[in-house]
Amino acid sequence: MSRENRTRLLIARKVPAAVARRAEAQFHAFVTESDMDAGSVVDFCEKHDVPAILIGKKSGLQVEHITALPSTVKIIANASAGFDHMDVAAARNRGIVVTNAPDALTECTADFSMLLVLAACRRASEYERIMRSGWGKSFGMTEMLGTRVNGKTLGIVGFGRIGRAVAKRAQGFGMRVIYTDVTRAAESLENGATYYASLADMLPHCQVLTLHVPGGGVPLMAKNEFGLLPKGAVFVNAARGGLVDEDALYEALTSGHLFSAGLDVYRNERNTDKRFAAIDNVFLTPHMASATVETRDQMGFTALDNVAAVLDGRTALNPV
């Protein structure tokens, strides 16, 4: 194969057709039909000397895989905002650029977070089950009541791109917004939101709480933190399942301390804690916050933009 026609990119996860077409045209990419594991990625790179890799969770490269990569690899691109499925420090130590796609998911994840807020507050999963079972009875004035969103105080943990986008949507529903983060945002970005310097200080004021921070380490929300929320609060998580002690969450939901929860992420994804599916006051979705045609295309295109920049000798657009 001539240098001009050689494979310059391995796409190790299944991507949308539009992303695959561009990758093949621009980089003569090898595009997998099903997600590759890390060992298969290393084998391919050793055989084909590709300078760029686009990976997913299944192909998350840890230190032993990155150490085994040939010196030809210049960039590992993630088509997601998160990169906790790989060892970034090990890649940096080898001089390999790691990128992500932080902007591509913002709007759809914020939309989905508001879906979780509304569905949890208004008992959406229960209402849908009633209809699917045939309805069959009328409900009186005191039955099957949700809790109103308008006028509630929404606490946001993490006031980055997604947190701020959620705040704007919540304000459109007439919610008061408070937030906590490592540092206070510029006043121009707060848009009227109130800052709390610590999570513990903010929690007692949150009638609805939503998380928008990276995962990893000790759970952010455990028994003590759920206990600080006011009785009847609603909890939402579309960030990372590892942020939550699920035993503590289950206790808070079944004891009546929490009114409900809306969950898109879990500690053990694909094999989630079945206790949550057995209780009514949880709205559950299978990690789908970014699952729109437009966003998934943009995630892939952002990864390809980063690959193009690095292979052309320019600075990556979204270095981690």
State the Cα–Cα distance between residues 131 and 141, nearest whole angstrom. 18
Do β-strands 75-78 and 258-263 pair in parallel, antiparallel, or remain unpaired? unpaired
Q: Are 45 and 25 in contact (CB under 8 A)?
A: no
Active-site residue flag, 314: no
Contact assessment for residue 196 and residue 176, using Cβ atoms and an 8 Å cutoff? no
The active-site residue, picked from 22, 123, 240, 296, is 240
d(CA 177, CA 111): 16
Four-CA torsion 150, 156, 160, 162, nearest 10 degrees:
-50
CA 308 vs CA 76, 77, 130, 165: distances in Å: 12, 11, 51, 29
How are strands ordered across the β-sheet holding 153-157?
A: 194-196, 176-180, 153-157, 208-211, 233-237, 258-263, 282-284
Q: Is 182 helix (H, G, I), strand (E, B) or coil?
A: coil
Q: How are strands ordered across the β-sheet holding 30-31?
A: 30-31, 9-11, 52-55, 75-78, 97-99
The H or E element containing residue 296 is helix 293-311
Distance CA(103)–CA(149), nearest Å, equals 27
Is 269 known to be catalytic? Answer: yes
The three-state (H, E, C) secondary structure of 263-278, written as one string:
ECCCCCCCCCCCCHHH
Q: Could you tell me the two tokens for 162?
A: 């997604």
Rg (CA), the chain: 22
Catalytic, out of 64, 269, 294, 314: 269
The two three-digit tokens of residue 261, written as one number: 């929860």
Query: Is there a catalytic annotation at residue 24?
Result: no
Cβ 44 vs Cβ 9: under 8 Å? no
Residues with catalytic function: 240, 269, 287
